[in-house]
Amino acid sequence: MRVFLFLLLPFLVFASHLKIISIKGTNSEVQVQFNNSIKEKDFSKYSINSGIYYDIKAELAVSKETFKLGKNSIKIAPNTKTITRIVIETKESENLYFNINNKRLTLSFKNNSATKIDSNKTNANNLESSNLNIANLFNSLDLKSINPSNKQDSTKIKDSTQQTDSTLKSAAQNNTQTNNNKNKIIVLDPGHGGKDCGASVGKICEKTITLNISKKTAEILKSRGYAVYTTRNSDKYISLTDRTKMANDKNADVFISIHANALDKKSKNYKSANGIETYFLSTARSERAKKVAELENKDDIEVMNYFSKLSFLNSINSQRLLASNKLAIDIQGGMLMNARNLHKGVIDGGVREGPFWVLAGALMPSILIEVGYMTNALELTRMQTKEYQNAIASGIADGIDGYFLKNF
């Protein structure tokens, strides 16, 4: 037995040699890719005055990097040849999102307030000075000699001084590898399911319409080369938090929740209200948005309490909000165009803001669409046809194409 152990030892050592093989960052998150799978226990966590840092026994096989996420900064650099240190300067460490998925560590902030456009310069200066402050967190070993900071590295920080109206654009420039649309990850979320029928008229449940449209949309997006995940592929119940958790776990680029509208029987325009609407999450509370939100949210009181505790309405990332708004406009346009090819008079219900809890937990641009009113007889009939479902699906896909084309 002992002989075998000695024979195995070199292989075990070899296998355990952990390396960081790539670091990618945007203004909203940082992704660290390892050559082997990692676990949270591999990281030693330390609190410091200016935030926290983690040490991991892994060689940094790429250049050190510093990223700025709102008011926070994340620096990844070697502490010794075998230990990489991740220093996170933040005043809101409780909002740090530290997520491990097999070989990838994702760091972001739940409360990542975007850099104000007119204060970019000040923030960048702050970052520079804070870099000096944290310099002594790294071993006196000359880091530059291990990983000479290349030009790209230093421009990455300077980039933040040049961000104007399109922070997402410069984030994408920093990250040329993911520029290709076809690397985009889409999570589709057919509303309701299982015990939760959603809106119902007669025996027809919203959950069936949303599932059909989602399946078709997934098919089209996959044929266009996107990576697509759906929160459900069958008639089963999924909590609101699990829906966005999936999107976060998959590192989705966009999250799209699919619904069909309905009005309360007491409403004046119960039978006449119609049209396609797209919502994105915000604190705005127009009467119409509030009514739709109440209907879509009623399912999950527990989730609402959970997010209320997080006071999520204050924590909406303004960058994500802007991106969600853009995504909503593109998808609304795509749906209308395709639906109108089929039925000329389809009504544009508009792009609206609303407090939708299903979108609250998502860390990426996310929208909720209402593909028509079930309480409107004509739209209910249409929504059950394959033709209309296909048109909406094509519209969603066209909208996604347009969004990525323009914004990345």
Q: Of 73, 164, 63, 65, nearest to 117 (Cα)?
A: 164
Cβ contacts of residue 238 below 8 Å, gap of 6+?
193, 194, 231, 232
Amino acid present at 12: L
Nearer Cβ to Zn ion, position 65 or 300? 300
Minimum CB distance to Zn ion smaller for 96 or for 293: 293
We find the least distance from the C-beta atom of residue 258 to Zn ion, in angstroms, to be 8
Whose CA is closest to 109, among 99, 118, 121, 100?
99
Residues 170-199 vs Zn ion: string with x where CB under 5 A? ---------------------x------x-
Ranges of H-type helices in 103-205? 120-134, 143-146, 151-162, 167-173
Q: Is 259 in the site for Zn ion (CB under 5 A)?
A: yes
Q: How far is the CB of 268 from Zn ion (least distance, A)?
A: 21
Q: For Zn ion, which stretch binds (CB under 5 A), given 247-255, 258-266, 267-275, 360-368?
A: 258-266
Output the smallest distance, CB 363 to Zn ion, in A.
Answer: 22
Min. distance of Cβ 85 from Zn ion in angstroms?
Answer: 46
The least distance separating Zn ion from the CB of residue 135, rounded to whole angstroms, comes to: 52
- 105 in Cβ contact with 31 (< 8 Å): yes
| Token pair of 232 as six digits | 């459900």
**Contact pattern from residue 290 through residue 309 relative to Zn ion, giving x for each residue in contact according to CB under 5 A and a dash for the rest:** ------x-------------
Q: Which residue number is nearest to Zn ion in terms of Cβ?
A: 259
Q: Per CB under 5 A, does 78 bind Zn ion?
A: no
Which residue's CB is nearer to Zn ion, number 70 or number 372? 372
Both tokens of 61, joined, read 């096989």
What contacts 75, CB < 8 A, 6 or more positions away?
64, 65, 66, 67, 86, 87, 88, 89, 131, 134
Encode 365-386: b = buried (16+ Cβ within 10 Å), e = exposed: bbbbbbbbbbbbeebbebbeee
- With respect to Zn ion, which residue has the nearer C-beta, 143 or 199? 199
**Taking the complex as a whole, how short is the minimal distance between the CB of residue 299 and Zn ion, in angstroms?**
9
Tell me which residues touch Zn ion (CB under 5 A). Answer: 191, 198, 259, 296
